Amino acid sequence: MTLTIVARDANTGFLGIAQSTNPLAVGSRCPFVRANVGAVSTQANTDPGLGPLAIELLSLGYAPTKVLKELQESDEHHGHRQIGIVDRHGRSAVFTGDLCKPYSDAVTGLNFLVMGNMLKTDAVVPAMHRMWLDTEGELFEDRLLAVVAAGRDKGGDAGGHRSACLLVYDTEAYPRTDLRIDFMPKIDGQPDAVDALGELLDRWRPMIEFYQIRPHDPTMPGWSDWLAQQGTPFKD
């Protein structure tokens, strides 16, 4: 019951995930990323423990296809899972269990995968794939969010979109971007979690550079003063 993109930026090596679903707090259970190792999403009837295991196997040099085989042998309920992996080389692989609810689908390629389960229509994943191709060259965070929005606009999760997340790692052990909408009321005609995530990214985007520099230069101005110096003062 989740739609997701897992990807690597070919120009920078960034690894990231964006996704949305009907249940609350998707960002707490499904996405797992380690810089210079890989990115994994475990979804459908999720076992969050599979994410850290997959990351550890990737860190040992296992290819994504091999990791999926190892997870299958470790999980007696594997038919209920959908798992997508992109490693630091851009290799991708997806497993969709035969007990995942329709519509369930996935597309993989170099540096990316798009996938979803319990989707409203079979047009969701193809629309996500097209948006990934059409946004080449854009800011990685913007590209990931655009893919999820494209899937949502074609029907998205059959239950709606109460939560969403956007997670990107550069070379540090901590994320470059970690944005989450854990709950948005599902009200017809009102913004959903994907919309709220877009608004949050609009506020975060100018600050990405600040939080890349600040850990290495604690003498720089505070974030609001720094934004004002850049000509992009923060707006409440």
Query: Would you say the pTM of this structure is higher than 0.85?
Result: yes
Helix (H), strand (E), coil (C) string for the chain: CEEEEEEECCCCCCEEEEEEECCCCHHHCCEEEECCCEEEEEEECCCCCHHHHHHHHHHCCCCHHHHHHHHHHHCCCHHHEEEEEEECCCCEEEEECCCCCCCCEEEEECCEEEEECCECCCCHHHHHHHHHHHCCCCCHHHHHHHHHHHHHHCCCECCCCCEEEEEEECCCCCCCEEEEECCCCCCCCCCCHHHHHHHHHHHHHHHHHHHHHHHHCCCCCCHHHHHHHCCCCCCC
- Condensed to tens digits (0 to 9), the pLDDT of residues 83-130 reads 999 999 999 999 999 999 999 999 999 999 999 999 999 999 999 999
Average pLDDT of the chain? 97
Which CATH code fits 2-229? 3.60.20.10
Stretch 66-82: mean pLDDT: 96
Q: Which comes out higher in pLDDT, residue 196 or 231? A: 196
Stretch 206-216: mean pLDDT: 95
What ranges do the domains of the chain cover?
2-229
- Condensed to tens digits (0 to 9), the pLDDT of residues 8-67 reads 999 999 999 999 999 999 999 999 999 999 999 999 999 999 999 999 999 999 999 999
